[in-house]
């Protein structure tokens, strides 16, 4: 029996925007969907029951962090990540490849905002070898080698439904020669990941600690279209991949990112669900759903919340509740939002929590932001089903 299925329900008439369903052993994901980051097997400041009440469908955790703490064996002993963190829905694990990028170069946001020259960061990446990536553990300072085989083995023990091949996410500032060599090495790592994962069921593995798993390939090539073409060709015809993820550098500006994603995603067809790694700003989602992106992931909803930023239906996208303008504001964050926070708390109270350094403030804004993102994705899915995407986008910002 096939435990995984991808089905497209509706495609917009004026774009490649589409709704679909990803079926996994732990439930279905209605797409387009946002994947919330529980990097270390925890959503920052809230529990999974609250996330579920907010409409969350799927959570992502990170292999690199979990292999260091608590260790994949501990998670496997619980019966997998779902039971370890008491999440009953679908899960995805990043292979650890993104840490090659982030620990050595910064974040995707750093790239797009041009913050890739910060020399004050604590660089943990030691060296990228053919065998794998050599890191210095942030837990105890020990050297750790993450190879394709080790990444797959770790992900089997961790037990997420959807898992990724190991790759290197190249930064924007490297040249075409480096990008090409990195891409080819990522392809070799991908083959090794497949060999470590593969069973008689082609893309289905029955050896994960929580049951069957499905594998995603990752498209690299940086900002170079001919390299993107080569990576698309490598990935799209591979029968081992249930899904495809767009990775690597997406450029140094929003405009360049949109063009790269558009170019790449429009060549991927309908056979696979398409995931965009590390992008999740609402404005980006509106722009990129149009080109056939099915799922997004980003740490921003809860990270913004920890800094007092509440997501809003405006072009600016958010307000900072720490601003003194909200000290005496008795209105909720959003009078049109039906989340439990907007129904029960004023901006004045939330402002007070942050000014008083009360941890409850982080939790309440996180709940609002998670609800906001899930509400956004529900709204987008309905707009595609009703085939009025552009009109719905305009209405979103007016409400």
The fraction of the chain above a pLDDT of 90, given in percent, is: 80
Same-domain pairing of 337 and 234: no
Residues paired with residue 219 on neighbouring β-strands, in sequence order: 246
Same-domain pairing of 231 and 380: no
Catalytic residue among 281, 297, 334, 386: 297
In a domain, 397, yes or no: no
In a domain, 307, yes or no: no
Catalytic residue among 94, 110, 281, 284: 94
pTM of the model: 0.93
In a domain, 399, yes or no: no
In a domain, 306, yes or no: no
Number of domains present in the structure of the chain: 2
In a domain, 41, yes or no: yes
**C-alpha distances in angstroms, 361 versus 1, 76, 301, 348?**
46, 34, 14, 11
Asked if 94 is an active-site residue, the reply is yes
In a domain, 294, yes or no: yes
Give the chain's mean pLDDT: 91
pLDDT exceeds cutoff 80 at 103: no
Asked if 284 is an active-site residue, the reply is no
Same-domain pairing of 140 and 242: yes
List, for residues 299-320, the tens digit of each pLDDT value: 999 999 999 999 999 888 999 9
pLDDT exceeds cutoff 60 at 376: yes
Same-domain pairing of 62 and 204: yes
CATH of the domain at 230: 3.20.20.105
Q: Which of the listed residues 298, 330, 346 is the one where a domain comes to its end?
A: 298
Same-domain pairing of 182 and 331: no
In a domain, 304, yes or no: no
| Average pLDDT estimate for 149-163 | 96
237 confidence band (pLDDT: 50, 70, 90): confident
List, for residues 270-281, the tens digit of each pLDDT value: 999 999 999 999
Same-domain pairing of 352 and 270: no
Please give the residue range of the domain that contains residue 65.
Answer: 5-298
């Amino acid at each position: 029996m096939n435990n995984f299925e991808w089905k497209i329900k509706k495609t917009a008439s004026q774009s490649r925007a589409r709704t679909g369903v990803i079926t996994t052993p732990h439930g279905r994901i209605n797409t387009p969907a946002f994947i919330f980051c529980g990097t270390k097997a925890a959503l920052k400041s809230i529990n999974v029951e609250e996330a579920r009440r907010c409409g969350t469908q799927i959570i992502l955790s990170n292999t690199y962090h979990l292999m260091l703490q608590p260790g994949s064996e501990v998670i496997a002993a619980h019966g997998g990540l779902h039971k370890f963190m008491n999440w009953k829905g679908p899960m995805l694990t990043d292979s650890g490849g993104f840490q090659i990028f982030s620990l050595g170069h910064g974040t995707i946001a750093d790239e797009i905002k041009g913050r890739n020259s910060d020399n004050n960061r604590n660089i943990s990446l030691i060296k990228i070898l053919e065998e794998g990536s050599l890191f210095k553990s942030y837990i105890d300072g020990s050297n750790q080698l993450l190879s394709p085989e080790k990444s797959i083995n770790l992900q089997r023990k961790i037990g997420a439904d959807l898992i990724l091949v190991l790759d290197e996410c190249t930064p924007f500032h490297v040249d075409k020669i480096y990008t090409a060599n990195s891409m080819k090495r990522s392809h070799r790592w991908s083959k090794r990941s497949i060999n470590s994962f593969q069973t008689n069921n082609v893309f289905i593995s029955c050896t994960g600690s929580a049951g069957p798993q499905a594998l995603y390939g990752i498209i690299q090539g940086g900002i170079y279209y001919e390299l993107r073409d080569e990576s698309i060709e490598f990935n799209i015809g591979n029968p081992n991949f249930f899904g495809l993820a767009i990775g690597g550098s997406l450029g140094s500006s929003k405009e360049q990112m949109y063009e790269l994603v558009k170019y790449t995603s429009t060549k991927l067809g309908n056979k696979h669900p398409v995931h965009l790694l590390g992008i999740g700003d609402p404005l980006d989602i509106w722009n990129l759903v149009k080109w056939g992106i099915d799922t997004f992931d980003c740490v921003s909803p809860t990270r913004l919340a920890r800094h007092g930023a509440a997501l809003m239906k405006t072009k600016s996208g958010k307000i900072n509740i720490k601003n003194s303008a909200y000290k005496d504001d008795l209105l909720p964050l959003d009078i049109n939002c039906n989340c439990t926070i907007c129904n029960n708390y004023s901006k004045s109270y939330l402002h007070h929590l942050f000014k008083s350094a009360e941890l409850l403030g982080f939790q309440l804004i996180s709940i609002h932001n998670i609800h906001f993102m899930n509400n956004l994705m529900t709204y987008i899915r309905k707009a595609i089903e009703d085939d009025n995407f552009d009109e719905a986008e305009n209405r979103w910002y007016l409400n």
